[in-house]
Amino acid sequence: MQDTILSVAPLGRTPWPTQDPFLFLAHHHDNYPSGNANMGPTTPLHGRNLGMDFSGRDGWSMYHGRTVPGFPQHPHRGFETITIARQGLIDHSDNLGSVGRFGPGDCQWMTAGRGIVHCEMFPLVNRDRGNPTELFQIWLNLPRADKMVEPYFTMLWRHMVPQLAITDAEGNTSEVRVYAGKFGEHDAPPPPPNSWAARPQAALAVWTLKLSPQAELTLPAGPPHATRTLYAFRGDGLQVGPRHVGTPHAITVQSDAELRLKAGETEVEILLLQGASIKEPVVHHGPFVMNTEQEIRQTIYDYQPCTHETGDGLPATTADQPSSRPTSNAATDCVVAPADRPELALATSVASA
C-alpha cells in the first residue's frame, strides 16, 4: 500500500496551520452554560477580559462579545469566510442587509471582496440546559483580480449539502458531507460566483468525514496541482494508508492518489481542505488580506471607524479620497429572534447580495 503522507503535525489550540489557498482555520468548541434573558451565559462573567476573552475558562470563551458570546460587528476585505456550524446556533447580520440564524450542518459562505461589515454571535437560547457550540471558520484567499469584487453572501443550508452514508465490507459506516467540490458523483452546492472555488482549476474541496469505530473509507484522488490536508481532530487514532497517525493531527497528503482511511477503536472525525495554490503575495493584517503593504494601509484608512466594539463600520470618505466600498446604515445587531422562539429565525431565508 502506497504511503502518500507528506507531513504530519500535531493540532494544538486554534488557529490550525493551513496551506495556500487557505489562510486561516479556527475550530471553536465551547461548552456554554444555560442562557439568560439576553441570550448570554447565566454564569457570572467576573474575571474575564470582556471584549477579548479567548481564555477557554470553564470550557468556554466570550471572544469579543460582552453580553452574548461571539464576534460583534467587524470588517473584512480581500478574502472569503466559510463557516460550518456543528453544534449550537450562530446569528449573522451584515451591511448588505443579510440577517439570519443557522445551526448544525449549515454553512455560511461570504465573499468579502472590496469590503463587508458583519457580526457572528452565539445566542444561548437554552435557558434550562447548556448551550454547547461548535463550528469551523475557514478563510479562503481571493486572487488579486478578485480582491475588490462586490461582496456576496450565501447560505448552504444543511438540506442542500450532500450527506453520504458509506458502508465498508465489514458493515461499518462513514459519513461524508460535501460543502465544496465533488466526492465521487456528488457535487456540493455552487460557491459564490467570484470565489476561488468557482474556478475549475482551483479543485477546491471542503469535506467533513465521520468514521465509526473500525470503519474504512477510501477518498477519491484529486488533481496533482492541489494541496490536500486532513485535520483529524477527534478520535483515538487513524490509519492513513499504511501508517498509523494519532489524533489530533494535521496530515498533508498527495492529492492525486486514492487514500484509504481506517478508524481506531472510537469514532474519528476529520475536516478535509483541498485546493490549488493561488501563488500570489499575501499581506495579512487583522481582518484584511491583500497583496501589498500599500493596499493594507489603504484598507486600514478606509476602516478606521470600525472595531469589534464600536463604530458604524463604514470607511472614511473625503472629497479627494472617496470611499472604496458602498455606504450602508444597516444595523449589525445579531440577536435576530426571541429566545423562546428560535425556530422563527431558523426558518428565515437569508438573501444573497
Tell me, what amino acid is at 272? L
Whether pLDDT at 344 is above 80: no
Q: What cell does 120 get?
A: 457572528
When pLDDT is averaged across residues 245-257 and rounded to a whole number, the result is 95
286-321 residue pLDDT tens: 999 999 999 999 999 988 755 444 333 333 322 223
pLDDT of residue 280: 98
Q: Does residue 336 have a pLDDT over 80?
A: no
Question: How does residue 147 score in pLDDT terms, banded at 50, 70 and 90?
Answer: very high
pLDDT, the chain, mean: 87
| DSSP annotation of 151 | P
Candidates 131, 92, 94; CA nearest to 346 is: 92
Please state, in angstroms and rounded to a whole number, the distance separating the CA atoms of residues 275 and 345.
Answer: 33
pLDDT over 70 at 329, yes or no: no
All residues at 6 or more sequence positions from 134 whose CB lies less than 8 Å from its CB, including other chains = 27, 28, 29, 30, 85, 86, 87, 88
Q: What does the pLDDT look like over 38-58, one tens digit per residue?
A: 999 999 999 999 999 999 999
The answer to whether 346 touches 101, Cβ cutoff 8 Å, is yes
What ranges do the domains of the chain cover?
5-276
Structure confidence at residue 324 (pLDDT): 34
Residues 161, 61, 346: CA angle, nearest 5 degrees: 35
For cell 461524508, the residue is 176
Compute the distance between CA of residue 331 and CA of residue 189 in angstroms, rounded to an integer: 29
The grid coordinates listed for 296 are 493594507
The continuous run of DSSP H or E covering 223 comes out as none
CA angle 225, 230, 279 (to 5 degrees): 35
> Does the pLDDT of residue 337 top 90, yes or no?
no
How is the chain split among helix, strand and coil, in percent rounded to 5?
A: 10, 40, 50
User: Quick one: 5-276 is in which CATH superfamily?
Assistant: Jelly Rolls (2.60.120.10)
Question: For position 310, what pLDDT does the model report?
Answer: 37
Residue 332 scores a pLDDT above 60: no
Q: Which phi-psi region, left, alpha or beta, contains residue 97 (left: φ > 0; alpha: ψ -120 to 50)? A: left
294: how many CB neighbours lie within 10 A of its CB? 10
**pLDDT score recorded for residue 305:** 59
pTM, entire model: 0.87
List the single range of 34-48, 137-151, 335-349 with lowest mean pLDDT.
Answer: 335-349
Written as nine digits, the cell of 351 is 438573501
Choose the weakest-confidence range: 26-40, 165-179, 259-273, 324-338: 324-338
Closest CA to 200 of 186, 209, 190: 190
Cell of 233: 481532530
Alpha-carbon dihedral sign for residues 223, 250, 122, 162: positive
d(CA 113, CA 258): 35
Average pLDDT over residues 151-179: 97
Tally of CB atoms within 10 A around 280: 14
Amino acid found at 212: S
170 three-state secondary structure: coil
The answer, yes or no, to whether residue 28 has pLDDT greater than 90, is: yes
For the chain, the residue count is: 353
- For residue 2, the model assigns a pLDDT of 82
| Residue position matching grid coordinates 460587528 | 73
Using the predicted structure, report yes or no on whether residue 227 has a pLDDT greater than 70.
yes
Kindly report which listed range (201-205, 288-292, 301-305, 334-338) carries the lowest average pLDDT score: 334-338
More confident residue, 156 or 331: 156
DSSP-assigned letters across all residues of 53-112: B---GGG---BT-SSSSEEEEEEEBSEEEEEEEEES-EEEEETTS-EEEE-TT-EEEEE-
Confidence band of 260 (pLDDT split at 50, 70, 90): very high
91-126: pLDDT as tens digits? 999 988 888 899 999 999 999 999 999 999 999 999
Cell of 315: 470607511
For residue 339, pLDDT over 80 is answered with no
Q: Please, where are the H alpha helices in the chain?
A: 293-302, 342-346
For residue 226, pLDDT over 70 is answered with yes
Rounded percentage of the chain residues whose pLDDT exceeds 90: 81
Query: Which of helix, strand or coil describes residue 228?
Result: strand
Catalogue the E-assigned strands of 122-185: 131-141, 152-156, 163-167, 173-180, 182-183
